[in-house]
Amino acid sequence: MDTGSATIWQVAAGDTNRSYCDVCLDWDVICFGPGSSGSWPGCEAKLEKDGWSTRKIGQIRGFHEEIENGDFVVLRLGTSHVYGVGKVVGDCRWNDHFGDVDGWDLQFVRPVRWLWDYRCHDRKPEVFKTHAMKWGDTVQKLSEESPVRVWIDNLEVAQCRLERDPVDLPQSGQNRLPQVETSEVANHLFDKGVAASSINALTEDLSELQRIASWYQRSGTRPTEHETVAYLVVPLLRALGWTPQRMAVEWNRMDLALFSRLPRKDKNLAAVVEVKRYDHACLPAKPQAQDYADEEGKERGECQRLIVTDGIRYGVYVRGDDGTFPHAPAAYLNINRMMDRYRILLSPKQAERDEYCGGAAQALEFIASDWSREGSQNSSKR
């Protein structure tokens, strides 16, 4: 791959706690934020008012105005790991479907034709010596002396990758996607047969959990994993019908084990809950939860759900008819930004088929203690 005199940018895709490399590679983009204040440059005044630094606002400006079509991009984590190499093929746009990427606020996106992808190489990133790339800002020019440049120039890229069109992004216009009101969630659960008294208790608990999360945010407090379980996760599970007898904390190496009935045995395991610290990525914890669910004896029992969470965001995976858990969650919930559905958590091909990951109402339905596959299937047929 001959980069010639083109500019090469190094673009971070999160960190070791929350990486969004696969989202960028799936959807042929590089992402940047915060973009919750709207499109550039109209958002500049609001960003200043909200207290964002001049440096951060300058980075947003650079993402829009300095990167040019034809520039090359290195998708990185840290200063030594490369996950993708691509070429910029379009102007920056604002897309609210990227407003919650496992907690990241990344509505600014630029189309990229990815030419090298770590997933085509046994899912192993290219690893260089530490500091082969600069530390610091999310988007920076790759230094002339970086060994990454030499590696890129020696890459062999198939012609089909050089010519392919980037995938089509889901459209969101210039406005934030509408959030789901608590009343809509309540109506959905009521239609599924949840008692009105339970729904009332749940809506009150959601409000309390939102206040706790807001306090953590305002105060800069970062609760431990144990505190996340005690103050955020267990209260929600209790509101959704799980009793203390059917919830076991730190049971057989699981953070939380939920049981369909007593006694607490593998054959009665209904769901595995993997908890990460507040404000850490939860979706990457799915393989760990799945390992517990698929241990000898459990896969032949009733364990049909995996729940991964940081106390605010919840990804719910439901075992398929073939006995396996799919790669993408069946539903996703962000208590602070409840949405009806999510497109980018699925692959572009699934989105083209008008498939989507369920939102807040579906996630709460799946997490509820009385959820059953049969009941869900029967409901969907009506």
Contact yes or no for 315/286 (Cβ under 8 A): yes
Which amino acid makes up residue 25? L
Q: Which helix (H) or strand (E) holds 126?
A: strand 126-127
What does the pLDDT read at residue 14? 86
CB atoms within 10 A of CB 239: 21
Three-state DSSP class for 221?
Answer: coil
- In the Cβ-directed half-sphere of 184, how many Cα atoms lie within 13 Å? 12
Domain boundaries, the chain: 8-163, 182-381
- The helix-helix angle for 196-219 and 182-191 (nearest 10°) equals 150
Residue 309 phi, psi dihedral angles, 5° rounding: -155, 155
Distance CA 132, CA 147 (A): 6
**Yes or no: is domain 8-163 CATH 3.90.1600?**
no
pLDDT tens by residue, the chain, 382 residues: 888 889 999 999 988 777 899 999 999 999 999 999 999 999 999 999 999 999 999 999 999 999 999 999 999 999 999 999 999 999 999 999 999 998 889 999 999 999 999 998 888 999 999 999 998 899 999 998 999 999 999 999 988 888 899 999 998 877 889 899 999 999 999 998 888 888 998 999 999 999 999 999 889 899 999 999 999 999 999 999 999 999 999 999 999 999 999 999 998 999 999 999 888 889 989 999 999 998 876 655 679 999 999 999 999 999 998 889 999 999 999 999 999 999 999 989 888 888 889 999 999 999 999 998 765 554 433 3
Structure tokens at 61: 């400006």
Whose structure tokens read 């407003």?
Answer: 99
What does the pLDDT read at residue 246? 97
pTM to 2 decimal places: 0.89
What does the pLDDT read at residue 65? 96
Contact yes or no for 99/36 (Cβ under 8 A): yes
What does the pLDDT read at residue 10? 97
What does the pLDDT read at residue 381? 37
Distance CA 365, CA 358 (A): 10
What does the pLDDT read at residue 379? 40
Q: Which residues of 300-318 are buried (b: 16+ CB within 10 A; e: fewer)?
A: eebbbbbbbbbbbbbbbbb
